[in-house]
Amino acid sequence: MDKCLGDGSILYLGDCAEKLKLIQTGSIDLVVTDPPYDLANMSDMDNGYYHSLPHYKEMESFATGYDIREIGAELLRVMKSPEMYIWCNKLQIPDYFDFYVKENGLRFDILCWHKPNVPPYFSNKYLSDTEYCLHFFGGEGKCFPTDYDSAKTFWVEPMNVEDKKYYNHPTIKPQNMIAQLVANSSKEGDTVLDCFMGSGTTGAASVLQGRKFVGIELDKEFYKIAASRVETALLHRKSALGEDVVEQDLTMAQLFAPDNSDAVGDADGEEW
Protein backbone atom coordinates (compact mmCIF):
# COMPACT_ATOMS: atom_id res chain seq x y z
CA MET A 1 0.00 0.00 0.00
CA ASP A 2 3.07 2.27 -0.22
CA LYS A 3 2.27 5.24 -2.44
CA CYS A 4 4.45 7.40 -4.69
CA LEU A 5 3.11 10.88 -5.42
CA GLY A 6 3.73 12.93 -8.54
CA ASP A 7 6.15 15.38 -6.93
CA GLY A 8 8.59 12.69 -5.79
CA SER A 9 7.00 12.27 -2.38
CA ILE A 10 6.39 8.79 -1.03
CA LEU A 11 4.16 7.44 1.74
CA TYR A 12 4.97 4.14 3.45
CA LEU A 13 2.55 1.97 5.39
CA GLY A 14 4.34 -0.07 8.03
CA ASP A 15 6.73 -0.06 10.98
CA CYS A 16 9.22 2.79 10.69
CA ALA A 17 11.97 0.57 12.13
CA GLU A 18 11.71 -1.45 8.90
CA LYS A 19 10.63 1.20 6.41
CA LEU A 20 13.46 3.57 7.33
CA LYS A 21 15.88 0.95 6.03
CA LEU A 22 14.42 1.52 2.54
CA ILE A 23 15.47 5.18 2.53
CA GLN A 24 18.77 6.01 0.91
CA THR A 25 21.61 7.18 3.14
CA GLY A 26 22.08 10.96 3.06
CA SER A 27 18.85 11.68 1.15
CA ILE A 28 16.78 13.61 3.73
CA ASP A 29 17.12 17.35 4.39
CA LEU A 30 14.82 17.73 7.39
CA VAL A 31 12.99 15.57 9.93
CA VAL A 32 9.83 16.87 11.59
CA THR A 33 8.09 14.17 13.59
CA ASP A 34 5.80 13.53 16.54
CA PRO A 35 6.72 10.08 17.93
CA PRO A 36 4.74 8.18 20.58
CA TYR A 37 4.95 9.84 23.96
CA ASP A 38 5.85 7.79 27.01
CA LEU A 39 2.63 8.11 28.99
CA ALA A 40 2.47 4.64 30.50
CA ASN A 41 5.30 5.49 32.91
CA MET A 42 3.92 8.87 33.96
CA SER A 43 1.13 7.61 36.20
CA ASP A 44 3.14 7.90 39.42
CA MET A 45 4.48 11.31 38.43
CA ASP A 46 1.03 12.71 37.64
CA ASN A 47 -1.17 10.83 40.09
CA GLY A 48 -2.72 8.75 37.33
CA TYR A 49 -3.77 11.85 35.36
CA TYR A 50 -2.79 10.52 31.94
CA HIS A 51 -4.45 7.17 32.57
CA SER A 52 -7.67 9.02 33.37
CA LEU A 53 -7.92 10.75 29.98
CA PRO A 54 -10.97 9.66 27.95
CA HIS A 55 -8.91 8.55 24.93
CA TYR A 56 -6.03 6.92 26.84
CA LYS A 57 -7.39 3.36 26.59
CA GLU A 58 -8.10 3.77 22.88
CA MET A 59 -4.55 4.95 22.09
CA GLU A 60 -2.67 2.90 24.70
CA SER A 61 -0.96 0.77 22.05
CA PHE A 62 1.31 3.68 21.10
CA ALA A 63 1.46 5.50 24.41
CA THR A 64 4.48 3.62 25.73
CA GLY A 65 7.23 5.46 23.88
CA TYR A 66 9.61 3.85 21.37
CA ASP A 67 13.25 2.88 20.97
CA ILE A 68 14.85 6.31 20.68
CA ARG A 69 18.32 4.92 19.91
CA GLU A 70 17.23 2.44 17.24
CA ILE A 71 15.10 4.93 15.32
CA GLY A 72 17.49 7.80 16.04
CA ALA A 73 20.41 5.93 14.48
CA GLU A 74 18.38 5.45 11.30
CA LEU A 75 17.33 9.09 11.23
CA LEU A 76 20.94 10.22 11.46
CA ARG A 77 21.88 7.79 8.69
CA VAL A 78 19.28 9.01 6.20
CA MET A 79 19.93 12.73 6.77
CA LYS A 80 22.34 14.79 4.70
CA SER A 81 23.26 16.58 7.91
CA PRO A 82 21.34 16.48 11.20
CA GLU A 83 18.41 18.89 11.22
CA MET A 84 15.38 17.60 13.09
CA TYR A 85 12.40 18.62 15.18
CA ILE A 86 11.04 15.96 17.54
CA TRP A 87 7.94 16.48 19.67
CA CYS A 88 8.02 14.80 23.07
CA ASN A 89 6.75 14.82 26.63
CA LYS A 90 8.87 15.73 29.63
CA LEU A 91 9.70 12.17 30.63
CA GLN A 92 11.47 11.56 27.30
CA ILE A 93 13.70 14.65 27.32
CA PRO A 94 16.65 13.06 29.22
CA ASP A 95 16.73 10.06 26.85
CA TYR A 96 16.69 12.31 23.79
CA PHE A 97 19.51 14.41 25.20
CA ASP A 98 21.56 11.35 26.11
CA PHE A 99 21.39 10.03 22.55
CA TYR A 100 21.47 13.11 20.35
CA VAL A 101 23.59 15.49 22.44
CA LYS A 102 25.86 13.37 24.67
CA GLU A 103 26.41 10.44 22.30
CA ASN A 104 26.22 12.17 18.90
CA GLY A 105 27.39 15.67 19.74
CA LEU A 106 24.43 17.56 18.28
CA ARG A 107 23.44 21.03 19.31
CA PHE A 108 19.89 21.79 20.38
CA ASP A 109 17.08 24.24 21.02
CA ILE A 110 13.94 23.58 23.06
CA LEU A 111 10.70 24.89 21.59
CA CYS A 112 7.51 24.97 23.65
CA TRP A 113 3.82 25.03 22.85
CA HIS A 114 1.86 26.57 25.73
CA LYS A 115 -1.89 25.85 25.67
CA PRO A 116 -3.94 28.34 27.70
CA ASN A 117 -7.17 26.31 27.52
CA VAL A 118 -6.24 23.00 29.16
CA PRO A 119 -8.63 21.50 31.74
CA PRO A 120 -7.82 22.51 35.34
CA TYR A 121 -6.24 19.26 36.54
CA PHE A 122 -3.61 20.32 39.11
CA SER A 123 -4.05 18.15 42.19
CA ASN A 124 -0.51 17.77 43.55
CA LYS A 125 0.88 18.64 40.09
CA TYR A 126 1.33 21.56 37.74
CA LEU A 127 -0.98 21.97 34.79
CA SER A 128 -0.21 19.82 31.76
CA ASP A 129 -0.28 22.93 29.60
CA THR A 130 3.02 22.67 27.72
CA GLU A 131 4.41 20.36 25.05
CA TYR A 132 8.02 20.28 23.94
CA CYS A 133 9.64 20.19 20.52
CA LEU A 134 13.36 19.41 20.56
CA HIS A 135 15.40 20.87 17.71
CA PHE A 136 18.60 18.90 17.17
CA PHE A 137 21.14 20.00 14.58
CA GLY A 138 24.75 19.50 13.62
CA GLY A 139 27.40 22.09 12.83
CA GLU A 140 25.93 25.50 12.14
CA GLY A 141 22.49 24.04 11.50
CA LYS A 142 20.04 25.09 8.81
CA CYS A 143 17.48 27.14 10.72
CA PHE A 144 16.87 30.50 9.05
CA PRO A 145 13.79 32.32 10.41
CA THR A 146 12.83 35.36 8.36
CA ASP A 147 11.45 37.61 11.10
CA TYR A 148 10.97 37.97 14.85
CA ASP A 149 7.77 35.93 15.00
CA SER A 150 9.16 33.00 13.02
CA ALA A 151 12.21 32.93 15.34
CA LYS A 152 10.23 32.53 18.55
CA THR A 153 10.77 29.40 20.60
CA PHE A 154 7.55 29.71 22.59
CA TRP A 155 4.10 29.42 21.04
CA VAL A 156 0.97 30.40 22.94
CA GLU A 157 -1.93 28.81 21.13
CA PRO A 158 -5.08 26.98 22.24
CA MET A 159 -5.43 23.26 21.71
CA ASN A 160 -6.54 22.49 18.16
CA VAL A 161 -9.82 20.81 19.08
CA GLU A 162 -11.34 21.06 15.61
CA ASP A 163 -8.34 19.40 13.92
CA LYS A 164 -8.54 16.55 16.41
CA LYS A 165 -12.19 15.97 15.60
CA TYR A 166 -11.80 16.39 11.85
CA TYR A 167 -8.80 14.09 11.45
CA ASN A 168 -9.79 11.81 14.34
CA HIS A 169 -6.31 11.93 15.88
CA PRO A 170 -5.93 12.86 19.58
CA THR A 171 -2.37 14.24 19.44
CA ILE A 172 -2.43 16.17 16.16
CA LYS A 173 -0.30 19.33 16.17
CA PRO A 174 -1.46 22.68 14.71
CA GLN A 175 -0.46 22.80 11.05
CA ASN A 176 0.67 26.43 11.26
CA MET A 177 3.33 25.48 13.82
CA ILE A 178 4.59 22.57 11.74
CA ALA A 179 4.56 24.74 8.61
CA GLN A 180 6.80 27.28 10.38
CA LEU A 181 9.33 24.60 11.32
CA VAL A 182 9.41 23.38 7.71
CA ALA A 183 9.83 26.93 6.40
CA ASN A 184 12.59 27.76 8.89
CA SER A 185 14.76 24.70 8.27
CA SER A 186 14.30 23.75 4.62
CA LYS A 187 13.93 25.26 1.18
CA GLU A 188 11.83 24.48 -1.87
CA GLY A 189 12.79 21.15 -3.41
CA ASP A 190 14.16 19.75 -0.14
CA THR A 191 12.91 16.43 1.22
CA VAL A 192 11.17 16.34 4.60
CA LEU A 193 10.72 13.10 6.55
CA ASP A 194 8.13 12.22 9.17
CA CYS A 195 8.54 8.62 10.28
CA PHE A 196 5.54 8.83 12.64
CA MET A 197 3.21 10.41 10.09
CA GLY A 198 -0.08 10.16 11.99
CA SER A 199 -2.76 12.13 10.18
CA GLY A 200 -0.30 13.81 7.81
CA THR A 201 0.21 17.29 9.29
CA THR A 202 3.92 17.44 8.40
CA GLY A 203 3.24 16.06 4.93
CA ALA A 204 0.56 18.62 4.13
CA ALA A 205 2.68 21.48 5.52
CA SER A 206 5.65 20.30 3.45
CA VAL A 207 4.07 19.82 0.01
CA LEU A 208 2.11 23.07 0.32
CA GLN A 209 5.50 24.82 0.57
CA GLY A 210 7.09 23.00 -2.35
CA ARG A 211 9.01 20.37 -0.39
CA LYS A 212 9.04 16.68 -1.20
CA PHE A 213 7.77 14.50 1.60
CA VAL A 214 8.55 11.02 2.89
CA GLY A 215 6.05 9.72 5.44
CA ILE A 216 5.79 6.46 7.38
CA GLU A 217 2.74 5.36 9.35
CA LEU A 218 1.97 2.07 11.07
CA ASP A 219 -1.78 2.47 11.58
CA LYS A 220 -3.84 1.74 8.43
CA GLU A 221 -6.63 4.18 9.24
CA PHE A 222 -4.30 7.08 9.99
CA TYR A 223 -2.33 6.20 6.85
CA LYS A 224 -5.49 6.58 4.73
CA ILE A 225 -6.27 9.93 6.35
CA ALA A 226 -2.69 11.14 5.87
CA ALA A 227 -2.53 9.98 2.24
CA SER A 228 -5.76 11.83 1.42
CA ARG A 229 -4.56 14.94 3.22
CA VAL A 230 -1.13 15.04 1.56
CA GLU A 231 -2.54 14.33 -1.90
CA THR A 232 -5.12 17.09 -1.49
CA ALA A 233 -2.43 19.52 -0.32
CA LEU A 234 -0.30 18.64 -3.33
CA LEU A 235 -3.19 19.31 -5.70
CA HIS A 236 -3.83 22.68 -4.04
CA ARG A 237 -0.13 23.52 -4.39
CA LYS A 238 -0.24 22.74 -8.11
CA SER A 239 -3.42 24.73 -8.56
CA ALA A 240 -1.92 27.73 -6.74
CA LEU A 241 1.08 27.62 -9.08
CA GLY A 242 -1.22 27.64 -12.09
CA GLU A 243 -0.38 24.10 -13.11
CA ASP A 244 -3.02 22.07 -14.87
CA VAL A 245 -5.11 20.28 -12.30
CA VAL A 246 -8.11 18.33 -13.49
CA GLU A 247 -11.04 19.65 -11.49
CA GLN A 248 -12.35 16.13 -11.08
CA ASP A 249 -9.06 15.07 -9.52
CA LEU A 250 -9.23 17.81 -6.92
CA THR A 251 -12.83 16.97 -6.15
CA MET A 252 -12.06 13.27 -5.83
CA ALA A 253 -9.21 13.97 -3.43
CA GLN A 254 -11.52 16.04 -1.25
CA LEU A 255 -14.13 13.31 -1.34
CA PHE A 256 -11.67 11.00 0.37
CA ALA A 257 -11.13 13.38 3.29
CA PRO A 258 -11.68 11.65 6.63
CA ASP A 259 -15.23 10.72 7.55
CA ASN A 260 -15.97 12.60 10.76
CA SER A 261 -19.34 11.07 11.45
CA ASP A 262 -17.73 8.73 13.99
CA ALA A 263 -14.96 11.03 15.19
CA VAL A 264 -13.96 10.35 18.76
CA GLY A 265 -12.68 13.81 19.71
CA ASP A 266 -12.45 14.67 23.41
CA ALA A 267 -15.18 17.14 24.31
CA ASP A 268 -12.71 19.13 26.39
CA GLY A 269 -10.06 19.04 23.71
CA GLU A 270 -7.58 17.53 26.12
CA GLU A 271 -4.05 17.02 24.86
CA TRP A 272 -1.86 14.15 26.05
Helices 220-240, 247-255: axis angle to 10 degrees equals 150
Lowest mean pLDDT among 44-48, 144-148, 267-271: 267-271
Average pLDDT over residues 111-135: 89
How many residues are present in the chain?
A: 272
State residue 161's pLDDT score.
58
Q: Coil, strand or helix: which one is 113? A: strand
- 200 φψ region: left (φ > 0), alpha (ψ -120 to 50), beta (else): left
Lowest mean pLDDT among 31-45, 64-78, 89-103, 218-232: 31-45
State residue 206's pLDDT score.
97
Query: What gap in Å lies between CA 134 and CA 13, rounded to an integer?
Result: 26
Mean pLDDT of the chain: 82
Average pLDDT over residues 150-176: 76
Q: What's the pLDDT band for 117 if we cut at 50, 70, 90?
A: confident
pLDDT at residue 90 above 80? yes
State residue 269's pLDDT score.
31
pTM equals 0.81
Average pLDDT over residues 45-68: 57
Q: What's the pLDDT band for 266 if we cut at 50, 70, 90?
A: very low
Helix ranges (DSSP H) in the chain: 16-19, 56-59, 68-78, 93-96, 161-167, 175-185, 201-207, 220-240, 247-255
Query: What gap in Å lies between CA 253 and CA 266, rounded to an integer?
Result: 27
Helix ranges (DSSP H) in 90-168: 93-96, 161-167
